[in-house]
Amino acid sequence: MSTHLLGVEIACDGPAGRDNCPHNAAIRAQFTSRTARQVRADGRRDGWTVHRIPGRLLDICPRCRNHTTEGPTL
């Protein structure tokens, strides 16, 4: 028996960049994408944006990117 890395999933950091995405969005990785960098490249093709802040990256889906002025959704 052997194990294989299936890849990574990148989830949206929400409209304010510090809360959860109200739509539970995640980047749809291609079958060949195995690293976070490759999955983020897949997301950019679908309209996702990536913002670098000290210590981490923020991943924003297209819906949240267009609604960054809204407050958090409960």
The span from the CA of 3 to the CA of 70, in Å, is: 43
**Is 33 among the domain residues?**
yes
Residue 72 pLDDT > 60? no
**Is 73 among the domain residues?**
no
**Is 72 among the domain residues?**
no
**Is 74 among the domain residues?**
no
* Selected residue with higher pLDDT from 37 and 3: 37
CA within 13 Å, CB half, 56? 6
Name beta bridge partners: 53.
56
Structure tokens at 2: 């052997």
What are 8-18's pLDDT values in tens digits? 788 898 887 67
Enclosing domain of residue 15: 1-66
Domains in the chain: how many in total? 1
What are 19-56's pLDDT values in tens digits? 778 888 888 777 888 888 999 999 998 899 988 888 88
**Is 71 among the domain residues?**
no
Structure tokens at 11: 């989830």
**Is 58 among the domain residues?**
yes
**Is 1 among the domain residues?**
yes
Structure tokens at 27: 């980047």
**Is 20 among the domain residues?**
yes
